[in-house]
Structure 1
Amino acid sequence: MELDGRAWRPNPNGLRYRVVAEQGWDHWSGSESRDHITADDQGLIFAVDGDGALTTSLLNRRDDSWPILGDVIDTGWDQYDRIFAGGEGVLYAQRPDSTLLRFQYHHSSQRWLEYAQPAGHGWDYSHLFSIGADLVYGVDEESGDLVRHRWDREIEDWEPGENHRTVVGTGWSGFEHITADGAVCTYDFSDLPRSTVPDSDRSRSLTPTEDADGLMRLYFTESSGRLFEAWQSSPSDPTRFGYTPLGRDARFAAHPSAVQRSNGETSLVAQHRDSSIWGASRVDGDWGDFSPLGGWTPGPAQLVETTDGTVTAFAVTEDGRLLHREQHPAPGAKVRWWPLGGAELTSDLTVVAEGDQIHVVVRDDQGSFHLVTAEDGTAITWTTLPGHGFEGSASLTIDSAGQWRLLARGADDRIHELRESTLSAGWSSVGDQEFVGSPAAIVRAGDRTTLVARGADDYLYVAVQDALDDSRYGEWTQLIDRRTGMVYRTSTDAAVLRNAAGYLLISFLDLADELYVFRSAYPDAIGVASEPVSAADEETDEPLTEFDGGPVELTEVR
């Protein structure tokens, strides 16, 4: 129904209403569920279904279609007796003890902007409703007063007044139902998320994984924005790959993120050029369609899987806050983008799982790193690490004793290391060589860390932790194909993967988007065990810096 002045505007059929859905809404017709459905000033319907899930639906009034219908955005809302909208995406929810909580959900970016903000106790009114702009009305059944409250977003509290309320009418007791037009008053919501132009940094354009057969799979974007999956087609040759484009005609920014899940599926996210995050899964060898996941972040998202099988994405907002979203959630999970906190953060982040915990290292705009440990969707620790002036992303590793170490490029363009075990000693330089990219670090057998970084000459260099003195690293060694002596320039940082057989695989792209893959000449057990090295290699100081590889031979498979 639509108002025309003081009267309902009739439809062409002469009725003052029209049916827009003939079934599926009976759950909310009963008195026990009538207070579990509401609509904001944009026409977005919020409803709590029979399982306690909060859903959204949106009617296209031009053709009475439902582009969004019953989309679950949260769970556990059966704990509330009543919900009502208070503005664009603004929801108030009342608990049985009369506690009121404020929420704000941004539909287009699929973000929770505010979640369960306490809004006071004692809301024992017989009716609660809003006319928008956080103007909340209630009926004091005992006195019959109609009272008004207004939430002040600046101070995150109700406007001052006696009991934070103003009496605006009398004689309102005895009504069975009261409602109001929720779009009468509106806020200036110019601070809501908007799509933006993604960061143009292509230094991190590849993500490697290992499939169930022990073969490498690579996900990367070309300069044109096309997204590809490439898979190793020969176990004995690291430079032979099949490939296929993903996402059809969509165009993506750099750095897709993928995880090979413990159940055999693959989860993938990539940032579209409109700054939204898109996601897809490969199940039983077949890719499903890409679907937009909102986000609208200036940089890409990073995926990680915890031991319970949950896959979580992390990203940073335009105002520098850390977000997370569970991609394959268990019941009760956070199925939209949730704020974890922070301020003035950049999109340079790294995520690593340790059991059911996730460690996130993110750089702020002053070049300092923050280490965030999250569990069950909550940041349980947030530590600002020493030092500032760092550039790019850090690389985080965790050894067999559960001790972390961080590698990053400093203001002097050298690679520096910070260890949990010697945190008070601060950062130490790994050699004197200067670099332009972010380092990639990986723990190999015997807790020996291998570093790969892009030098100022755009060649990759490798350094390996000393086998006898773990406080030292060997010299930086240029990445060379030991068979031919060839070296290749890169336009991206290295993507590294240690496979199940103990080999290190390094991949990168050049300026022409040509793909290169190198595999270590030996499994890393050679660095910690008595495994012999052939006579031809006896003069090599560090066998773990020897690699075979070069340009990849790609064969398209449709």
Structure 2
Amino acid sequence: MSAILPAGYSHADSTATCTGPTQIFAALPDGSTRLYTHPDPVNGSAGFSNPTVVGGPNGGTLMGGPSGDVYNIQHNGEFRRYHWNGTGWDNPYQVIAQGWGGWDLPAYHNRITVDPLGNIYSVGEDNNLHVNHYDAAAGKLVEHVIDTNWGNYNLIIAGGPGVLYARDPNVNGGELYRYQYDANSQRWLQRKRDLGIGWNIYSGIFSAGGDTLYGHTNDPRGELYWYHFNNDTGLWAGRNYIGFGWDPSWLVTSISNTCSSTMTLPPKPPVTLTGAVAATLLPNTNGRLEYYYVGKDGSVVTVDQSDVADGSTAQFGVLATSGTFTGRIAAALNDNGGAQVLALGTDSEIRGAVQPAIAGNWSTLSPAGGYFPVEPAIVRKPDNTLVAFGLDAQGGLWYRPQLAKNGDLTSWQSLGSTGMKNTLTAVAQGSTIRLFTLNANNRLSTATVTGTTLSSWTELTGLASGVSGSAVPSVVIRADGTAQVFALDSSDMSVRTIKQNTDLSWPTTWTTIPGLTAAGAPSALATNTGTVEVVVKGNDGLVYNTGQLAPANPAFRSWTVVDPMNNAGSDPSAAQLSTGVWAIVFRDTEDRVYLYHTVPSGSLAARAAADSPSPTFVGGLLPVQRH
């Protein structure tokens, strides 16, 4: 028999707390099901009770769940949940799903497990890691893909809430790894911690919870061994011999929450409520404009406008949800033209919704975890998949990739880093994603993410501390591939800009765009003529516009008023449409939406304004508002 060599080893007692003996169920090939107990799951002393034949689940696949639940997937794909009440099985069993065939095949029957929260983790033919939970109100399993590339594991077992042990049979006679996923925050708290070699000697492994594992060997003697892993120290207690006679042909499992260990999980941090934030604009095909904002009542409002020249085409909607929201909406277009949005709840939980196609019906805003004090960002990568980013309460950076084009976002994974704060701004720059936020010194800083690698943060010097502390910077990628940033300098409320050098380094000074005292965050866009246009709310409440005199000229023309009659209650936002027309959107103090757009060249309005260096805007209050 090969020796198991854990990563760190100790004969100390386990740190688990157990409520009683481990209840072990064994389904035999003859159709009988037995109940055994191991009296000492805390210390792993040898011996177990004589079996009691209890009937109940047998055949297919067997998985222990919490509080007496035992799950059984039949050969025909019927997914059953039995409940052991301490003296017998409650009748009848509950069928929670159909169509789960194939889990009895040798390649898969050890790749599904139930944790102490009742969450079902599985690795199927797609080799992705799925989590299912049973929605009692809907009477069905709700599934989510939380990770990819788990096909190298031939066994996964839940050892605690979201704690997964995974065995790679092709490395060192069976390498064992520990993962920890928090289903509430949807964060990976630990990934692929190496726990040792030689675990192929076991035909199966089951857990009583609390990082307490039992392995039964695949030799005819069928020996049973006990282990406990201390995640804080990285040490094992065990390998303790419990007994023999556990035939490899048996399906063996145990109740999954008999034991528990202390776990540190992410708390929900406080969220600072922010109002009058700019709408997020998404130009779609054929001149269509979609935009999103948080209403004064904390709802997430969607607007789909097929023609910016016709305000009556604006279709307003409110995404269904149970929460209230704050800040700026993160939104991006899928490859198929549908959209995904992420919104920051006032309880720090991110919630997301999906529009399956252009003008399609939105899903309900559903929990997306996070537990972030500030809004996330979402951006479309060069491969046309989406990725979201968020900052936790310690300033650590997290990312959440899309499974595939137009697919679901998976789960939050750490990119490291600490000390960053404030809302993230994310843009695609070449083959990387460029991020902007404030550091611990209130200095605007930038970094890139290439694949899953985060660069060091670069502080953009030359502005007083506090730049954009209350206003999110706007970033455009120029035709030469460089990034240009526009920010509010809170020391004098001026709009300033800084543009990367051609080698992608950053200068040490910012340029002030003179002539205006601003009252919020600027919004910039790169036009198809190679210039950059900027809009911002002035301290008089009106929306102003400026732009470059020429593509190669860094100077900006004088600020002009977009709408001299109506004050803005929110910051404005601007975007160029696929037609080359660009639009400005803002809300007034009553939360009503205004849209202005540039007039096409050759129109009467354009010819009348031909001698003016500034663009001509038409538009105003949308005739149809939210409902």
Short-chain TM bin: 0.7 to 0.9
Partner of residue 540 from structure 2, selected from 454, 457, 469: 457
Check if 1:543 corresponds to 2:597.
no
Give the match for residue 9 of structure 2: none
User: Structure 1: how far apart are the matches of 2:560 and 2:361?
Assistant: 38
User: How far 1:79 moved relative to its partner?
Assistant: 0.9
Once the two structures are overlaid, the 10-residue window that deviates more, 21-30 or 356-365, is 21-30
Give the match for residue 188 of structure 1: 262
Q: Secondary structure of 1:472's partner?
A: strand
Q: Secondary structure of 2:102's partner?
A: helix
User: How far 1:111 moved relative to its partner?
Assistant: 2.7
User: How far 1:505 moved relative to its partner?
Assistant: 1.3
Equivalent residues of 1:345, 1:365 under 8 A apart: yes
| TM-score, normalization by structure 1 | 0.81
User: Structure 1: how far apart are the matches of 2:260 and 2:119?
Assistant: 15
User: Structure 2: how far apart are the matches of 1:441 and 1:58?
Assistant: 43
Q: Mark the CA change 1:410 to 1:117 in structure 2 (over 3 Å): closer, same or farther.
A: farther
User: Structure 1: how far apart are the matches of 2:458 and 2:208?
Assistant: 43
Output aligned runs, 1:33-432, within 5 Å: 33-59=108-134, 67-96=140-169, 97=171, 98-126=174-202, 128-136=205-213, 146=225, 148-153=227-232, 158-159=234-235, 165-169=237-241, 176=248, 179-189=253-263, 191-194=265-268, 198-232=271-305, 236=309, 241-248=313-320, 251-274=324-347, 275-283=349-357, 285-295=359-369, 296-327=371-402, 329-330=404-405, 335-354=410-429, 357-376=432-451, 378-379=452-453, 381-387=455-461, 389-390=466-467, 391=469, 392-412=471-491, 413-421=493-501, 423-432=505-514
User: How far 1:406 moved relative to its partner?
Assistant: 1.9
User: How far 1:134 moved relative to its partner?
Assistant: 3.1
1:166-209 deviations in whole A, cap 9, x for unaligned? Answer: 44446558653665543233233453344x66542124341223
User: Structure 2: how far apart are the matches of 1:99 and 1:370?
Assistant: 41
User: Structure 1: how far apart are the matches of 2:333 and 2:125?
Assistant: 34
User: How far 1:13 moved relative to its partner?
Assistant: 13
Give the match for residue 553 of structure 1: 623
| TM-score, normalization by structure 2 | 0.73
Q: Mark the CA change 1:270 to 1:165 in structure 2 (over 3 Å): closer, same or farther.
A: closer
1:315 maps to a residue whose letter is G
User: Structure 1: how far apart are the matches of 2:546 and 2:336?
Assistant: 34
User: How far 1:308 moved relative to its partner?
Assistant: 3.4
User: How far 1:340 moved relative to its partner?
Assistant: 2.9
Equivalent residues of 1:241, 1:553 under 8 A apart: no
Identity rate, percent: 22
Output aligned runs, 1:511-522, within 5 Å: 511-521=589-599
Equivalent residues of 1:417, 1:427 under 8 A apart: no
Q: Mark the CA change 1:459 to 1:427 in structure 2 (over 3 Å): closer, same or farther.
A: farther
Give the match for residue 57 of structure 2: none
User: How far 1:241 moved relative to its partner?
Assistant: 5.0
Give the match for residue 448 of structure 1: 531
Q: Mark the CA change 1:338 to 1:171 in structure 2 (over 3 Å): closer, same or farther.
A: same
User: Structure 2: how far apart are the matches of 1:33 and 1:262?
Assistant: 33
User: How far 1:533 moved relative to its partner?
Assistant: 7.7
Check if 1:470 corresponds to 2:553.
yes
Once the two structures are overlaid, the 10-residue window that deviates more, 464-473 or 438-447, is 464-473
User: How far 1:279 moved relative to its partner?
Assistant: 0.5
User: How far 1:95 moved relative to its partner?
Assistant: 0.9
Q: Mark the CA change 1:43 to 1:233 in structure 2 (over 3 Å): closer, same or farther.
A: closer
User: Structure 2: how far apart are the matches of 1:286 and 1:522?
Assistant: 29
Partner of residue 509 from structure 1, selected from 571, 574, 587: 587
User: Structure 2: how far apart are the matches of 1:499 and 1:515?
Assistant: 18
User: Structure 2: how far apart are the matches of 1:424 and 1:235?
Assistant: 37
Equivalent residues of 2:486, 2:497 under 8 A apart: yes
User: Structure 1: how far apart are the matches of 2:313 and 2:137?
Assistant: 49
1:407-426 deviations in whole A, cap 9, x for unaligned? Answer: 22234233332322074531
2:518 maps to a residue whose letter is F
1:552 maps to a residue whose letter is L
2:351 maps to a residue whose letter is I
1:441 maps to a residue whose letter is A
Give the match for residue 562 of structure 2: 480
1:286 maps to a residue whose letter is G
Q: Mark the CA change 1:137 to 1:192 in structure 2 (over 3 Å): closer, same or farther.
A: farther
Equivalent residues of 1:349, 1:362 under 8 A apart: yes
1:346 maps to a residue whose letter is K
Q: Secondary structure of 1:92's partner?
A: strand
Q: Secondary structure of 2:94's partner?
A: coil
User: Structure 2: how far apart are the matches of 1:101 and 1:551?
Assistant: 59
Q: Mark the CA change 1:173 to 1:505 in structure 2 (over 3 Å): closer, same or farther.
A: same
1:247 maps to a residue whose letter is L
User: Structure 2: how far apart are the matches of 1:25 and 1:233?
Assistant: 43
1:443-489 deviations in whole A, cap 9, x for unaligned? Answer: 123432222223333333323224276343333x14234xxxx2432
User: Structure 2: how far apart are the matches of 1:443 and 1:64?
Assistant: 49
Q: Mark the CA change 1:94 to 1:467 in structure 2 (over 3 Å): closer, same or farther.
A: same
User: Structure 2: how far apart are the matches of 1:121 and 1:158?
Assistant: 15
Q: Mark the CA change 1:487 to 1:555 in structure 2 (over 3 Å): closer, same or farther.
A: closer
List alignment gaps of at least 5 residues for structure 2. 1-21, 25-34, 40-51, 55-67, 69-82
Equivalent residues of 2:386, 2:405 under 8 A apart: no
Q: Mark the CA change 1:137 to 1:347 in structure 2 (over 3 Å): closer, same or farther.
A: farther
User: Structure 1: how far apart are the matches of 2:308 and 2:256?
Assistant: 63
Give the match for residue 45 of structure 2: none
Equivalent residues of 2:144, 2:410 under 8 A apart: no
Q: Secondary structure of 2:583's partner?
A: strand
Q: Mark the CA change 1:233 to 1:87 in structure 2 (over 3 Å): closer, same or farther.
A: closer
Once the two structures are overlaid, the 10-residue window that deviates more, 442-451 or 13-22, is 13-22
Once the two structures are overlaid, the 10-residue window that deviates more, 432-441 or 76-85, is 432-441
User: How far 1:510 moved relative to its partner?
Assistant: 1.9
User: Structure 2: how far apart are the matches of 1:353 and 1:129?
Assistant: 45
2:163 maps to a residue whose letter is V
1:399 maps to a residue whose letter is R
Q: Secondary structure of 1:505's partner?
A: strand
